[in-house]
Structure 1
Amino acid sequence: MKLKYLIIAAAVSLMTSCDNFLEPESLSTFDTNYVFSNVDDARKGVNAIYSHFGQDAFRSRLSNNMTGNTDIERQSGWNSNGDRYQIWNLDALESNRDLEIVWTYAYRAIRDANIAIEGLLASGKLESSDLAEANTMNQLLGEAYTLRAYWYSMLTYYFGDVPYITEAPKAGNEFNQPKEDRNVILAAEIQNLIDAEAKMLWADQVPFGIEQVNREYTLGMIARLSLQRGGYYLQPDLNMARESDYLDYYQIAKDYTAKLISLKDRELPEDFRQIFMNQCTFQAPVNEDVLFEVPFAIGNGDVAWNIGVRVEGGPTAAHSFGSGNNYMSIPPTYYLSFDTLDIRRDVTCSLYKINTSFEYEFVNGGLDIGQGKWSRHFLPNPPGPSSAKGTGINWPMMRYSDVLLMYAEAENELNGPTAEAQEALKRVRRRAFDPQYWASRVDAYVSQVSAGKDTFFEAIVDERAWEFGGEMIRKYELIRWGIYSEKMAETVEGLKELADAAFNGTTQYPDYMYWKVDETGNFTILNPNRRVVAPPDDTWTQQSFLLALHSDQYTYQEWITKDWENHINGPKPGVVRYIFPMPASAIASSQGTLSNDGYGF
């Protein structure tokens, strides 16, 4: 059952909005007390927090559009001064509207979370003699804490130190709060989740399953936030650092992933593609891979509009699925990094698009590889020829495979590649290969990379790339690992090597690919992994692939040398300035409390 009402604006009517994120409209104590005095209205109060996922701040910004560029996703930011281009190019201004939208709605969500937290704590219902009431109220409290922690995690990734607001708005509050150390914020939010999770309910115990924050997701978020807190971060002097207590947070990540594995383990579904087909066909099974996904109602959500398989539609198209683009294409270095037997590659990397004739066609230019996990042409009911946004496809926030790999990473950091760490990695890889290949692709591979702590860590870095391509979490991982610039430089050099080999005729990989739509209507590529001199017959269409990386004018296509330039040679070469300036509107309304100091601004 799709949880539509969490995203609709009606929930917001309980909590008044405001122009200044710190300056609320009045909200009477009587109203708050009433809202959180009973389960039904308390549910509506917590729904107000979810409603902000339905705004562009999340559905097209934080969820996917603002998360490039990485070693597995890319978009050119240097060819426009538009807001999103500034973000892709890491040179955003204080006036950037996209950043202002994210800042504004993050603090609105935090405001509504604070109202719910205070209301629930003051309600007296958390210790109700009615067990069902007490369980529901404690579950709602955990949801509020977890959603607030998500938004603070994002704020610290994008802006560094930010105001840390934990009180509900009320008359007499000091609205102009200074910035707080991001480590203080993350540590406090982690502790709040630790305190709340034990009284939360599992996905199979709550009305809307994985379309509602549940105990599984909160346990996973404790681990994710702990790895963020224990990882590297950019300081105002443009140096990357990590705190001396970082191992304490790796221990928390290990403990809480282990807790989830112990209390609510599940086998990963065998069919990797079906995980995402479930989202495209509005299915949300519990006790499987997805722990929590943002529930978008039909008419909301931008999945398969600005991310996913490209679909060319419009009023004159021969189909009624509408139009969908893909803002974040996949570099060929990532496509070719997969083992050729890894079933995740062809799910993640789409080498086809759907044209206006509702036919398969090779992607534009040969290199516009799409995020293949979602497509509007998978929808059970065509939304209309002129449709674009609002597909209603949910967005995954965390999967169980993430928990297994976080456990493996944390265990390795603390104790090296133990048998437990190896088994967690094996569990993820087993799904990626047919059982006949497990001996070589799983057991032998994991044994080889387990020679030492460093090689096992590198294997985790690789595995997370192959497992979560297109799910747009790579940026945050590269940051906390402290290897963002290093990986960008590797990507550029890898693309140059592929271009040179293709141009010189020495490549073993496809300089051209040959494709067709077979008799059964399936899109087929003759040589997805290797170079062939010519196709066997004239039923195949030739498409330039790696040869398209070469440019007679520039040697390499401009995007190769420019897309990642500020990630490699920014204000401090070798360090990615991923922090952005706080919005000018927030600074202006702070009455001198906030300023964009440091980070070379």
Structure 2
Amino acid sequence: MKLRYLIITTLAFIMASCDDYLEPASLSTFDSEYVFSNAEDARGGVNAIYVHFSHDGFRSRLSNNMTGNTDIEHNSGWASDAARYQIWDLNAQENNGDLDYVWDIGYKAIRDANIAIEGILASKAYNSEDQVLAADMSHLLGEAYTLRAYWYSMLTFYFGDIPFITEAPKAGVEFNRPKEDRNVILSSVIHDMIEAEANMYWADQTPYGIEQVNREYTLGMIARLSLQRGGWFLKPDMTMDRASDYLAYYDTARQYTGKLIQLKDRQLPQDYRQVFLNQSKFINPVNSDVLFEVPFAIGEGDVGWNIGVAVQSGPYGTGNNYMNIPPTYFYSFDEADQRRDVTCALYLYPNETPSKEDLEPQELVGINSIAQGKWSRAYLEKAPGSNTSKGTGINWPMMRYADVLLMYAEAENELNGPTGQAQEMLRRVRQRAFPDAVWAEKVDSYINTVSASKESFFNAIVDERAWEFGGEMIRKYELIRWNLYSAKVQATVAGLKKMADEVDSGDLPQYLYVRNEPDGTLVIYDLYSKAIPPDIDNWRQENWIEGLIDSSQPNNYREWITRDWARYTHPVRYIFPIPTIGIDNSLGVLQNDGYGF
């Protein structure tokens, strides 16, 4: 079921009246008491917060496009001065349009959350003796708190200390506020969710399941933001730091992941591919892996347009992949890990014919164009048309249960070392990744080895999160809070250079030999050696590791290897300047200071 954001007329008017979050509008312009007097209209009030997910600032920027470069995804920011390239190259200016988008929709979503929160708390319905009505309103309050927390989490990741606004726009409220400490903001929104979660509905109790914020997601967000609050962050003096009370937030993460596991545990579905194929098929199972996904109506959303397996033409339209997967990440997977070929697509669709069964044969991509394989417009049940590009309607996953299990393992290890409980959570994720025939070696023996110390178990969690969540574009935030951003990307660059240096002497294939099955599926003879197929006439030879070399360059490496991560040195300046819209609208209160700006 697709949740459609149908906002009632009064709320649409509010949004038009409060176009600038720094310009308060009088509450007399609408009847807040009426809007939040019943659950149906209050639902519309909360839906106003979701509307901002449909903006380009989220659907093609914040959700995926802006989240590189890391050790598991990258693009060449130096190739252009356009907005997204500046962000990839960590060189964005105040007038960067993509930063404008994120700042603008972030604070508009926060504004609408504040309106809903104040309206619900002040309503008679929230305190009604009608238990069903009161419960509905309590759940809606939890949704609003959680959505507000999400946006503050993202804004602090991108801009550091920012204005903290928790009041709805109305006469007499000052909105030109100075920056607040990011730790104060995160602590506050975590507290709000903790206060609200027990009165929220589980996904299987809500009309839209995982397509709306539910109790599972809120519990997961308490943990995710607690790890952000307890993690490392960049200070204006360009040093990395973490607060002295960080262990208290690891304990909160452990408590609330543990609470979800205790109250609403579920087995991870064994078919890893199907978890993501569901989004392209518009299937939204509850009590499964995905806890919440942003629901895009048909004609909305950019999944399968700027992220996923590329489709170059045909009745399914066109879609590309902005964030490529470095081959170092591809080769970091165990050969038996079933997540590798779901996550890393070595193929694209060059053309499509009208029949879904008659897709043109898949083609091998270049070694610098490995795509996120979890989504593609080619997976849609119905062809949207040859002239389509954006607006696939494919939902975007915001959190999965596997994340909850690994957050519990990480927090438990930080507090107590690799206990049996921590090991069990890691085991559950790895068991889904491998065929049960190899569990003794790939799961049990592996976990015994990495559990030798707290440090080795932490490193295993860092690796497991890379393999489990590749393409879901959360790695950047994890590397920041672990203070591993520069170390991991520099290791990637070194790994790529090593591959190129060993193109002749190393084990990996200089070329790949490929052919197509009758149904068009690409078959690769050997990804791990220089072996040549005995029936070589039935195969095509394509460049592979050879594609990392450019003899026209002084160092023989492709330019992207040396330049994509060139600015990602310690400490990585992942904080961006407050964009022009924020500076101008603050009437002199805000300025870009610190971080080398």
* TM-score bucket of the superposed structures, by smaller chain: over 0.9
Compared CA separation, residues 563 and 8, structure 1 to 2 (3 A): farther
Helix, strand or coil for the counterpart of 1:443?
A: helix
| Corresponding residue for residue 367 of structure 1 | 368
RMSD: 1.5
Task: Write the distance in 2 (CA, Å) between the matches of 1:324 and 1:438.
Answer: 37
Look up the match of 1:31: 31
Aligned residues with identical type, % of pairs = 63
> Which residue of the partner structure matches residue 530 of structure 1?
529
Amino acid of the residue matched to residue 453 of structure 2? Answer: G
1:520 deviates by: 4.1
Q: Give the corresponding residue for 1:323.
A: 318
Partner of 2:255: 255
Q: TM-score, normalised by structure 2?
A: 0.97
Paired letter, 2:458: F
Provide the C-alpha distance between the structure 2 equivalents of 1:24 and 1:12, rounded to a whole number of angstroms.
Answer: 16
Query: What is the CA distance between 1:212 and its match in structure 2?
Result: 0.5
Contact 2:24 2:173 (C-alpha < 8 Å) held by counterparts: no
- The Cα offsets for residues 429-476 of structure 1, whole Å up to 9 and x where unpaired, read as 000000001000000000000000000000000000000000000000
Q: Contact 2:310/2:348 (CA < 8 Å) preserved in 1? A: yes
The letter of the residue matching 2:581 is S
How far, CA to CA, are the matches of 1:467 and 1:12 in structure 2?
A: 40
Is the 2:309–2:321 contact (alpha carbons within 8 Å) kept by the matching residues of 1? yes
- After TM superposition, the structure 1 stretch with the greater mean CA deviation from structure 2, 514-523 or 62-71, is 514-523
Residues 123-176 of structure 1, C-alpha deviations (whole Å, 9 max, x = no match): 022232212111110010000000000000000000000000000000111121
TM-score (norm 1): 0.96
Counterpart of 1:212 in structure 2 is 212
Alpha carbons 2:8, 2:44 under 8 Å: kept: no
Question: Which secondary structure state, in structure 2, belongs to the residue aligned with residue 180 of structure 1?
Answer: coil
Could you say which residue in structure 1 is the equivalent of 2:505? 506
Shift of 1:477: 0.2
Question: How far off its partner does 1:511 sit?
Answer: 1.8
Determine helix, strand or coil for the equivalent of 2:340. Answer: helix
Deviations 1:172-221 (A, max 9, x none): 11121100000000000000000000000000000000000000000000
1:8 positional shift: 11
Specify the alignment match of 2:332 in structure 1.
337
> Quick one: structure 1 residues 336 and 7, their matched pair in 2 at CA, closer, same or farther if it must change by over 3 Å?
farther
Alignment of 1:267-346 (within 5 A): 267-313=267-313, 319-346=314-341
> What's the counterpart of residue 95 of structure 2?
95
Aligned-pair CA distance for 1:534: 5.0
1:581 aligns with 2:577: yes
Deviates more, 1:547-556 or 1:529-538: 529-538
Cα distance in 2 for partners of 1:566, 1:282 equals 39
- The gaps in structure 2 that reach 5 residues or longer are 353-358
The correspondence for 1:590, drawn from 556, 565, 586, is 586
Instruction: Give the whole-Å Cα distance in 1 for the aligned partners of 2:507 and 2:532.
Output: 11
**Which residue of 2 is the match for residue 458 of structure 1?**
459
Amino acid at match of 2:130: D
Residues 334-389 of structure 1 deviation map (CA, whole Å, 9 limit, x = unaligned): 00000000000000000010012542333443431011000001001000001000
Give the match for residue 243 of structure 1. Answer: 243
> Deviation at 1:510?
2.2
Give the number of equivalent residue pairs: 589
In 2, the alpha carbon distance for the partners of 1:547 and 1:528 equals 13
Q: Aligned partners of 2:465, 2:8: CA distance in 1, in Å?
A: 33
Segment of structure 1 superposing worse, 137-146 or 125-134: 125-134
Residue pair 1:155, 1:162 contacting (<8 A) in 2 also: yes
Tell me, yes or no, if the aligned pair for 1:128 and 1:134 is still in contact at 8 Å.
Answer: yes
User: Is the 1:7–1:297 contact (alpha carbons within 8 Å) kept by the matching residues of 2?
Assistant: no
Q: After TM superposition, list the pairs within 5 Å mapping 1:423-434 onto structure 2.
A: 423-434=424-435
Equivalence map 1:340-489=2 (5 Å): 340-357=335-352, 358-489=359-490
1:467 & 1:77 partners in 2: Cα distance? 26
> 1:9-28 residue pairs with structure 2 within 5 A?
12-28=12-28
Structure 1 residue runs without a partner (length 5+): 314-318, 569-573
Q: 1:543 & 1:30 partners in 2: Cα distance? A: 64
Distance 1:6 1:543, change over 3 A: farther
- Contact 2:280/2:395 (CA < 8 Å) preserved in 1? yes
Q: Could you say what secondary structure the match of 1:143 adopts?
A: helix
Deviation at 1:592, TM superposition (A): 1.4
Give the whole-Å Cα distance in 2 for the aligned partners of 1:8 and 1:540. 60
2:72–2:329 CA contact under 8 A, matched in 1:
yes
